[in-house]
Amino acid sequence: MASPYPQGDREKVASKLPPSLRQELKIRAAEYSLDIQDAVTTAITTWRETPGGAPADTTGAESFSTWLPAGLYDDFKETCTGRGISYVQGLAQAVRRWLDANPSPADRPAGGIPERKIICNQKGGVGKTAIAAGTAQAYAEAGKRVLLVDYDPQGHLSDQLGIDQIEPGHDSLVSHMCGESDQDLRDLLVTVDDERYGKRLDILPSCFDGFLLDAKVAIKAAQARGYQKESALERALAPVEGDYDVVVIDCPPSLGIAMDAALHYGRRRQGEPAMKSGVIIPVLAEDSSATAYGMLAGQIQDLCLDLDLEIDYLGLVVNLYDSRRGVIATSSLKQWRELGEPPVLAVIGDLKEQREAVRKQMPLLSYAPRSEQADLMRQIAGTPREKGGRA
């Protein structure tokens, strides 16, 4: 069916696509910076001009709608009728052929430098874990290969996703940071098994040994000539970096050596564009959060001066915001916004979906993909929002 498009020469058309094909289309269009309607227009036009091709699997096809140039859908239906196939089969063939002709950039050879997002604040309870997990999910949903590192020995991220923490004495991120492992770090990774992320989201679980990380790294630096404690995290992750487009680090609430290593990892590397890697700082709309932010900013400044680094502030995320808490909340939010630099990337309310997802040990974007909270995670990551409303 079709209904007139009120703002130009397009019309809204409705058909069906299998969920997996629709998700792949969404991701690929985002990878090529295309609107889905433009990708589908090209797909249908090309399919009509080039007969032949294998039938597409339309099992479980669900409602799908988009905007097409006026008249194209009628021409498409005539072509389907002429070829003796259903409209659903024709659309699936067109989309499948377009996807095959436009492979994912993520399939390129490994070896590049990934973007590195350091989610940090020395104050606990500001939502670092939720924001790290949500933005990592948004990147993976949009087609990027993502490594999400549970760098906090408390292991909230691992627990929330139902992933076991690594027991003391076993190979872990800590043993790799201290140069005490000859094993492959990839053996520790857990891939999130969800069609939404297409096996592009890996988790490096937390380890209980992380509580001793500062001491172990300090001892290693004292004993081993040439061992720079600030580069410990980078040395550990270097062997797997080429496998990913984005690495997200969920940091502990600390200002110690572990935090220095995370900040060093997120520095702007030689030849890397500004604002690709750096720190994302979750804060609350309250006075104590401003104090904690000042302490973290001081640590970043000292590290940059001591080691001649550039660390980009990618932005702030004001989390758990509720205007009903009165003038302290509203005035604090105003002050965060008036900073200007770093910018406020998102203001996230005290919403229920994240808590419910944690209870079910599910990723937020899997549990409530159309929720306001999920869309705000996509906003932080700069990836396309879910179409079709909120659930």
pLDDT value for 77: 95
Looking at the structure, do residues 226 and 293 belong to the same domain, yes or no?
yes
Q: In Å, what is the CA distance from 296 to each residue of 274, 283, 303? A: 20, 11, 11
Do residues 293 and 338 both lie within one domain? yes
Domain hosting 41: range is 2-103
Nearest to 284, CA basis, from 250, 251, 328, 339:
328
Interatomic CA distance for residues 149 and 324, integer angstroms: 35
Q: Which of 103, 122, 157 is the last residue of a domain?
A: 103
Indicate whether 121 belongs to any domain. yes
Query: Which amino acid, one-letter code, is at 351?
Result: L
Q: Are 308 and 263 in contact (CB under 8 A)?
A: no
User: Is pLDDT of 374 > 60?
Assistant: yes
Phi/psi for 118 (5° steps) reads -100, 110
Q: Please, which pLDDT band fits residue 4 given cuts at 50, 70 and 90?
A: very low
Question: Judging by DSSP bridges, how do beta strands 201-204 and 278-283 pair with one another?
Answer: unpaired
Tell me: do 222 and 175 sit in the same domain: yes
As a whole number, mean pLDDT of residues 25-30 equals 87
Strand bridging mode 62-69 / 146-150:
unpaired
- My answer on whether 128 and 198 are in the same domain is yes
| 78 lies in the same domain as 218 | no
213: domain CATH number is 3.40.50.300
Total count of domains within the chain: 2
pLDDT number for residue 106: 58
How far does the chain reach from its first CA to its final CA, in angstroms? Answer: 25
Q: Does residue 204 lie in a domain region?
A: yes
Task: Looking at the structure, tell me whether residues 26 and 152 fall in a common domain.
Answer: no
CA nearest neighbour of 137 among 381, 301, 310, 328: 381
Q: Confirm whether 36 is domain-assigned.
A: yes
**371 and 323 in one domain?**
yes
Q: Can you say how many angstroms the Cα of residue 391 is from the centroid of all Cα atoms in its chain?
A: 20
pLDDT on residue 237:
95
CA distances from 180 to 173, 175, 236 (A): 10, 5, 10
Q: 3-state class of 293 per DSSP? A: helix
Rounded-to-integer distance, Cα 278 and Cα 311, Å: 6
Distance CA(311)–CA(269), nearest Å, equals: 9
187 phi, psi to nearest 5 deg:
-65, -15
Same domain assignment for residues 96 and 121: no
Give domain status of residue 387, yes or no.
Answer: no
Question: Minimal CA–CA distance to 250: which of 357, 346, 157, 145?
Answer: 157
Please check whether residues 319 and 231 belong to one and the same domain.
yes
Q: How confident is the model at residue 283 (pLDDT cuts 50, 70, 90)?
A: very high
Tokens matching residue 317: 């995320």
pLDDT at residue 357 greater than cutoff 60: yes
The last residue of one of the domains, among 103, 137, 154, is: 103
Q: Is the pLDDT of residue 53 over 80?
A: no
Looking at the domain assignment, is residue 386 inside a domain? Answer: no
Q: Which of 387, 384, 388 is nearest to 30 (CA)?
A: 384
Q: Which of 87, 103, 119 is the last residue of a domain?
A: 103
Q: pLDDT digit string (tens) for 157-207?
A: 999 999 999 998 899 999 999 988 889 999 999 999 998 999 999 999 999
Task: Report the share of the chain in percent with pLDDT over 90.
Answer: 65
Please write the tens of the pLDDT for every residue from 200-227. 999 999 998 888 898 989 888 888 777 7
Question: What is the separation of C-alpha 330 from the centre of its chain, rounded to a whole number of angstroms?
Answer: 29
Residue 289 lies in a domain: yes
Residues 132 and 265 in one domain: yes
Distance from C-alpha of 42 to C-alpha of 102, rounded to nearest angstrom = 11
Q: Which has the higher per-residue pLDDT, 265 or 389?
A: 265
Same domain, 224 and 288: yes
Give the contacts of 262 (CB within 8 A, at least 6 positions apart).
118, 120, 151, 233, 249, 251
Q: Is residue 326 part of a domain?
A: yes
Residues 137 and 267 in one domain: yes
Please check the confidence at residue 3 and state whether its pLDDT lies above 70: no
Would residue 80 count as lying in a domain? yes
Residue 281 DSSP class = E
Average pLDDT over residues 245-254: 95
